[in-house]
Structure 1
């Protein structure tokens, strides 16, 4: 994997703070999925725990690096989705996990250096868990670093965000993104980048897993439904069976292109009969539906309601 050039500035800033012994007690790595936040965090954590780092990078061979590679380093705590008593993986991080974390951090570092906690995805903490984390953020133990990763940082309470040093991972310029995708040997990088809304990491993933074909299917489905053809139930079934949130992303993107085409006076690709105001409302509705799929609502009903509004 070629280096992600948009990480360079954030990496340099953190290493400069490390050299001054001025690292914060909590970092919030924030930005859209696909920009390499987790890759960045893993490299930074390895460098902090390494016994012989070079320019912030881990040596990969010392005792500490070997423990990290094996997933058994005693001073590295990874907090994510736990399991319920029935063995089902939770969809949120709960308060008991944060309480257990606080008890763990009360103990001294076993290697005599940093104790590092990663909370990923931090924006999946429920309200009780976030409130419990506040005490740890307000009264940090020495040589402890909490690293929170959030694809949607706005879902975190402001009280949590304000107590972390935030590092924003932003979509790079189109030129930088295309250069990186070409270095990654991505087929048709321009189409992949357009589908991913300019996000190069997402573009690389989608180029490899057939997402561009799905994008075409969504546009075909919407055009057919707008013309009174096609079966809404069949469309819902197919979108749900594959990757409903991704199909909704492509649907919202297609409507944006429809509005742009109308504004430019060109041929509208979806040939929708909805006026501009209704199209804009449907775009917002598609995004809300994508968010609703995180919760307990039935995906088929969410999709069917949206498709009915399109027709």
Structure 2
């Protein structure tokens, strides 16, 4: 695995604590999606459970490593979205899952070492689940580690965050991100990184899936709607059919560029009739709409209302 350079600092910090026998019982891996938090978690847990680790990394050959490869290690527990009784995947982590997890953690390690559980995404726990987790966090058993992974850690209650050892994954310097993207074979690294807001992991994935073309399409759609040429319902249909949250991200970027150009006395790329203050309000609405798409409200109505204000 090509380990990103921005993993070096948190990795070194955790390994230093491991050498001092002072590992936290509840690390919280926090930061934007795309920075490899889950790859980091996998590497760390494998090294922690390995019977013959080398500088913190798993050997890949011992019994523990083979069981991890097979997904049958008795001391490795993962918790994520479960299934409802009708077989449909839940959109949140519920209290019954946390109660089952707490009962599991009350038992001893079968290998006599660490017992490691991860909750991912931890920010998907509902209020009852988060409250049920508090007791486990307050009374950890020896050599039991509960790792929380969150792309949006602010959604976690303060009572949960205060009981975790937070390990932040921040956007790396632009030069480092560009060098990594080029090593990953991303052809237009600069454009991809700009599209992803400086996030190299997202930039790589988006470049490979054709998101840069989607970004151009979003700008054309907004310019057409601003000029009265586009049909809002047709744009809504296309956006909802193909990565709506990503398209709203690109829409927010386009409006930010419009504001920047206007503030510099130039024509914006979208030729919007809105003034700068109204553009700022619309930018906020785009981001709120992106969050609202996670909920029960109809996406077509959300986008139609948004486009109505844009026109």
TM norm. shorter chain > 0.5 = yes
Within a 5 Å distance, the mapping from 1:125-136 to structure 2 comes to 125-136=125-136
Q: CA deviation at 1:303?
A: 1.0
Matched, 1:276 2:262: no
Is the contact between residue 29 and residue 149 of structure 1 (CA under 8 Å) also seen in structure 2? yes
Matched, 1:262 2:262: yes
Distance 1:291 1:94 in 2: 20
Q: CA deviation at 1:2?
A: 2.6
The aligned residue for residue 191 of structure 1 is 191
Q: CA deviation at 1:187?
A: 1.5
Q: CA deviation at 1:263?
A: 1.1
Within a 5 Å distance, the mapping from 1:198-237 to structure 2 comes to 198-237=198-237
Please, what TM-score do these two structures have when normalized by structure 2? Answer: 0.99
Is the contact between residue 79 and residue 120 of structure 1 (CA under 8 Å) also seen in structure 2? yes
SS of the equivalent of 2:27 reads strand
The aligned residue for residue 114 of structure 1 is 114
The aligned residue for residue 174 of structure 2 is 174
Matched, 1:75 2:75: yes
SS of the equivalent of 2:55 reads coil
SS of the equivalent of 2:72 reads coil
SS of the equivalent of 1:86 reads coil
Deviates more, 1:257-266 or 1:165-174: 257-266
Is the contact between residue 30 and residue 153 of structure 1 (CA under 8 Å) also seen in structure 2? yes
Distance 1:52 1:154 in 2: 37
Give ranges in structure 1 of 5+ residues lacking alignment. Answer: none
The aligned residue for residue 50 of structure 2 is 50
Is the contact between residue 2 and residue 180 of structure 1 (CA under 8 Å) also seen in structure 2? no
**Stretches (4+) displaced over 6 A:** none
Give ranges in structure 2 of 5+ residues lacking alignment. Answer: none
After superposition, the C-alpha distances for 1:216-249 in whole angstroms (9 at most, x for unaligned) are 0000000000001110000000000001100100
Distance 1:108 1:167 in 2: 27
After superposition, the C-alpha distances for 1:237-291 in whole angstroms (9 at most, x for unaligned) are 0000001100100000100010011111222100000011110000000000000
Distance 2:166 2:195 in 1: 28
The aligned residue for residue 305 of structure 2 is 305
Q: CA deviation at 1:3?
A: 2.0
Matched, 1:29 2:29: yes
The aligned residue for residue 8 of structure 1 is 8
The aligned residue for residue 86 of structure 1 is 86
SS of the equivalent of 2:116 reads strand
Distance 2:185 2:153 in 1: 31
Distance 1:50 1:2 in 2: 20
* Aligned residues between the structures: 311
SS of the equivalent of 1:111 reads coil
Distance 1:259 1:232 in 2: 22
SS of the equivalent of 1:54 reads coil
After superposition, the C-alpha distances for 1:51-102 in whole angstroms (9 at most, x for unaligned) are 0000000001100001111111100000000000000000000000000001
Distance 1:62 1:210 in 2: 41
Distance 2:195 2:21 in 1: 42
